[in-house]
């Protein structure tokens, strides 16, 4: 992993920091590989019970590094296949975030544009600084939204609002994002990192196995029929019901004390 993506684990929380602050953490191939590796590491490490993705400096991520595309085209003498680039680099990252059985928080410290905004929306939860914004930059450069944006934004805000944002390439500020339900929380930029870590810390102390299963259940819920969801819930509850955390949760309730969850 090169230093364009930083990875740190502390008290059950893996923090992945996109680290090309001079260009608002725009993505190069190496950085996308680094992000993918970091997510794999967080997935494998049983100590990790919550993941935070954030950006260094004043941006979250400005999406694809557009100069990098131009540079590669100049070097090779032929056009980069965007379809292949998405299939091989961005899409697997989005799927990894969605299938990772641990909560993933997008800690949107500043502007999130293009595929950077898609990445933030792929996370399960979002906390934004009051300086953050979402820019659906795709239309501004003559492209369609990608990296899951057409799925995530339409589900979050409905078709008409999503379409308007995409078609105009407009900027959605933090407060408006909160009002529309695009982010869960907005906090002042001064205490932002601590607020994000605090929230992640709470999740990392909870019954994280059940939360991972909840993520599976809700992702299925977005696309399945009521009947299928009911059956899937029964299947997952069988698993959750056999966890140590379920036993601990019930014991703590009956003994009128706070539960001590281990994520097992």
Residue 118 C-beta: closest distance to ligand LHQ, Å: 7
Residue (82 or 232) nearer to ligand LHQ, CB: 82
CB 73 within 8 A of CB 20: no
Q: Provide the token pair at 137.
A: 């930059």
Burial annotation 75-86 (CB, 10 A radius, 16+ → b, else e): eeeeeeeeeebb
Residue 148 C-beta: closest distance to ligand LHQ, Å: 11
- Residues in touch with ligand LHQ (CB under 6 A): 23-24, 26, 62-67, 69, 82, 85-86, 111, 113-115, 135, 137-138, 140-141, 143, 146
Q: Provide the token pair at 72.
A: 């590669």
Report d(CA 241, CA 206) in Å as an integer: 15
Residue 131 C-beta: closest distance to ligand LHQ, Å: 10
Residue (135 or 204) nearer to ligand LHQ, CB: 135
Residue 138 C-beta: closest distance to ligand LHQ, Å: 5
Residue 192 C-beta: closest distance to ligand LHQ, Å: 17
Residue (62 or 207) nearer to ligand LHQ, CB: 62
Residue (169 or 249) nearer to ligand LHQ, CB: 169
Report d(CA 181, CA 176) in Å as an integer: 9
Secondary structure (DSSP) of 180-212: HTS-SEEE-GGGHHHHHHHHHHHHHTS-HHHHH
Residue (140 or 179) nearer to ligand LHQ, CB: 140
């Amino acid at each position: 992993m090169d230093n364009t993506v930083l990875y740190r684990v502390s008290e059950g929380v893996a923090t992945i920091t996109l680290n090309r602050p001079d260009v608002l953490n725009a993505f190069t191939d190496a950085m996308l590989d680094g992000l993918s590796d970091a997510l794999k590491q967080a997935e494998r490490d049983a100590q990790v019970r919550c993941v935070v993705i954030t950006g260094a400096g004043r941006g979250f991520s400005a999406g694809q590094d557009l100069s990098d595309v131009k540079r590669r085209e100049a070097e090779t003498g032929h056009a980069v296949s965007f379809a292949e680039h998405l299939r091989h680099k961005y899409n697997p990252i989005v799927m990894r975030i969605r299938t990772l059985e641990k909560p993933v928080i997008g800690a949107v410290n500043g502007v999130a544009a293009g595929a950077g905004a898609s990445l933030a929306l792929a996370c399960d939860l979002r906390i934004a600084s009051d300086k953050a914004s979402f820019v659906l930059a795709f239309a501004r450069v003559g492209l369609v939204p990608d990296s899951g944006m057409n799925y995530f934004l339409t589900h979050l805000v409905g078709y008409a609002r999503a379409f308007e944002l995409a078609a105009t390439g407009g900027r959605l500020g933090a407060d408006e994002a909160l009002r529309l339900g695009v982010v869960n929380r907005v906090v002042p930029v001064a205490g932002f990192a601590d607020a994000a870590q605090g929230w992640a810390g709470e999740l990392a102390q909870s019954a994280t196995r059940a939360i991972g299963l909840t993520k599976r259940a809700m992702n299925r819920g977005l696309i399945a029929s009521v009947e299928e969801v009911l059956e899937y819930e029964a299947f997952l509850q069988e698993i959750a019901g056999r966890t140590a955390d379920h036993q601990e949760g019930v014991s703590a309730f009956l003994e009128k004390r706070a539960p001590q969850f281990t994520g097992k």
